[in-house]
Amino acid sequence: MQQNPLPNLQQLLQENLVGLKQFLNLSNLKERVYLYGRGSLGLGTLQEKVQGIPPAFLKPLIKKRVFENDTLKFYAEVFGLPSPEVKWFCNKTQLVAGDRVQMERDGDSISLIIRNVTKADQGEYICEAVNYVGEARSVALVVVVSQEVEIPCKTHLNLSINGI
């Protein structure tokens, strides 16, 4: 039996009150974020709830260990109404898309991809989601491991040959 896909929450809220009542009767994770989100949204009036939902990370960032010259990939899911603006930071410096850095978004799903990782890419990564109702952050540490492998070698060889 196929389940119906989740309705577009913004569309439900914009269409009419019937759509809003339908949304409030959903029993999924996004409903729980809506009802128990930060601030007084879970306790306020229906009018307050219609005004917006603060951002919340449904799937937060996860710490990573990556080798030099490999690709670092973060995937997360963030929800809010209106849909929050997302920014990425490495060691408190905002990241900008470029040749090595790629940021993508598909609805609530977000990703950060950094190619050819160097030791300078190591540190604290923050994904920040902001809308006019509130903000949320997800934090993860990245450790960059050198690809140099030390192989212990013996500098001398003991040979014992009888009769020589």
Q: How many domains are there within the chain? A: 1
Let me know if residue 115 belongs to a domain.
yes
Other beta carbons within 10 Å of 115: 13
Single-letter amino acid, residue 97: A
pLDDT score recorded for residue 157: 54
Closest among 51, 48, 130 to 89, alpha carbons compared: 130
Let me know if residue 131 belongs to a domain.
yes
The span from the CA of 148 to the CA of 129, in Å, is: 37
Let me know if residue 119 belongs to a domain.
yes
Q: Is 153 exposed, middle or buried (0-12, 13-18, 19+ CB in 10 A)?
A: exposed
Q: Whole-prediction pTM value?
A: 0.63
Let me know if residue 155 belongs to a domain.
no
The span from the CA of 141 to the CA of 143, in Å, is: 7
pLDDT score recorded for residue 50: 57
- Which mean pLDDT values do the consecutive 10-residue runs of the chain (164 residues) have? 50 47 48 45 48 94 97 97 97 97 97 97 98 96 85 56 58
pLDDT score recorded for residue 30: 53
Single-letter amino acid, residue 28: N
Let me know if residue 32 belongs to a domain.
yes
